[in-house]
Structure 1
Amino acid sequence: MGLNLDEQKAVDRFRDDVVEPSMSKLVVLDFWAEWCGPCKALTPVLEKVTAEYADKGVVLKKLNVDEEQFIASQFQVQSIPTVYALFQGRPVADLTSARSETQLRDALDQILAQLPIGEGGGEQPQHDVGQFIEMAEGVLAEGENERALGIFAQVIDMAPDNAAAHAGLVRAMVAMGETDRAREHLDSLDPTLAEAPEIKQARTAIELAGDKVDDSELASLREKAEGGDMDARYAYAEAAFAAGQRDAAADELLAMIEADREWNEGAARTKLLQIFEAVGLEDPWVVATRRRLSKILFG
Structure 2
Amino acid sequence: MSSLKQPPAGAGAASAGGAYEVGEADFETKVLRRSAQVPVVVALYSQRSPGSVELVRLLERLVGESGGAWDLATVEAEPNMRIAQAFGVQGIPTVVAVAGGQPLADFQGAQPEAQVTQWLSAVVDAVAGKLPGAEGAEEGEQPEPEDPRFTAAENALDQGDLPGAEAAYAAIIEAEPGNEEAKSALRQVRFMGRAQTIPESAVQTADAEPDNVDAAFDAADLELLQQRPEAAFDRLIGLIKRTSGEERTRARTRLLELFELFDKTEAFVVAARRKLAAALY
TM-score by length of 1: 0.42
TM-score by length of 2: 0.44
Q: Using CA pairs below 8 Å that are at least 6 residues apart, which structure has the higher relative contact order?
A: 2
Structure number with bigger Rg = 1
